Structure 1
């Protein structure tokens, strides 16, 4: 199983949990990710498929936690080719090849990366503040908002730092649009988001997605559904005693 032991620690609680599956082993899944991370979109789609495969064996609650790949990104964003070339030292041909590989991985999981749509990298801090607020409503709402943000950015090529877009997406998943707009115009939940980001960094999270199950097991990267499924089944079975 592609997991490693994760030191248990107190994670930020939300006001209300998602509606759990009706039977099976309870699992708390913290999905640490960024809105602008393509492998996070792939990892989420794969995890969702794995949860469908295990069915009633696992009664899961999924909580999205913040991570910023580019916390210092300017409001206007940056051209994606220039950004990736500067950050990773790769050329345009390598970027195109990587993008095609990501597109194919997404397509195999039912997620569409729009060809040529994602032209800029944007600041995602306000999107994380909105996701934090959504979790206070319930985790199902937060889940829907996360997926809407992934689609807006990766499929439609929209700007996830745009407050009008964020308020519209909040409305579409059932949140109050006016309250969302007011939140975005303020600095509400800024301290909470930064504190949560710092918490995960202090516990060794330096890349995403990072999927933490029951505050004990870490699965890193955009793994295929089979890896998540195997992990979920083994964790559901519990520890095996020596000599058993």
Structure 2
């Protein structure tokens, strides 16, 4: 079973969706037959990246973007923090830094080629929501990629050029072709689409349904004596 997931590393619901998906996958009987690929999506392609040590008031920025009071924005983020905590995540929006995520997505394609994509995805999300690190800064990205098991020289060379830029754009184009306007978005066997950070039981139901549809039962012999309801053949 192939599962493709579109998300952004600065999307709080994407991190929640990752945890809920992982919970569903742990309960899925055929989890060893599942391959997962993370695909690029940018919530704000025009975002500017903060540098280490820079100030950024994320709660006020969201208030301004949505036309809310700071108090309402703070309550929204408090509610989301509590929801994240229920999934074992530790959100600190007060530390969150602004970031353009294009280069982070380029490194995720490098990590995919090196078999470390999920590890880097997790580290980038933790860096954003728990550690308050600027995941648009090249130095920070290089450090995080090395933590995830990538080679520093290769990472720095990729960041210095435009390696994997076309792959990021292709992911974004595919999302557009699928009609994806929000993330996280899960595509299972290129057939089933699941939008949003659905609860783990709902995701597990979709996994089971997709597996059943891909592996229908084939009858190899007729009835040799059976019971149906309260009637038995003799």
What TM-score, normalized to structure 1? 0.81
Higher relative contact order (CA 8 A, sep 6+): 1
My pick for the range that moved more, 127-136 or 54-63, is 54-63
1:83 corresponds in structure 2 to: 61
Question: Structure 1: any 5+ residue segments left out of the alignment?
Answer: 1-26
Q: Against the structure 1 CA distance between its residues 128 and 57, is the aligned structure 2 distance closer, same or farther, given a 3 Å change threshold?
A: closer
Q: What displacement does 1:114 show?
A: 2.4
CA distance in 2, matches of 1:235, 1:105: 28
Alpha-carbon deviations, 1:29-67, whole Å to 9, x = none? 111000100000000000000000124466211100000
1:169 corresponds in structure 2 to: 144
1:101 aligns with 2:79: yes
What TM-score, normalized to structure 2? 0.84
1:129 corresponds in structure 2 to: 106
Q: What displacement does 1:115 show?
A: 5.4
CA distance in 2, matches of 1:172, 1:44: 20
Find the residue that maps to 1:212 and give its secondary structure: strand
My pick for the range that moved more, 145-154 or 221-230, is 221-230
My pick for the range that moved more, 37-46 or 85-94, is 85-94
C-alpha contact 2:185 2:194 (8 A) present in aligned 1: yes
Which is higher, the Rg of structure 1 or of structure 2? 2
Alpha-carbon deviations, 1:65-106, whole Å to 9, x = none? 000001011233864234322332222122112211211121
Alpha-carbon deviations, 1:175-222, whole Å to 9, x = none? 101110111111111122112211211220111000111111111111
CA distance in 2, matches of 1:123, 1:115: 17
Q: What displacement does 1:238 show?
A: 1.5
CA distance in 1, matches of 2:172, 2:83: 28
Q: What is the RMSD computed on CA atoms of the aligned residues?
A: 1.9
My pick for the range that moved more, 142-151 or 109-118, is 109-118
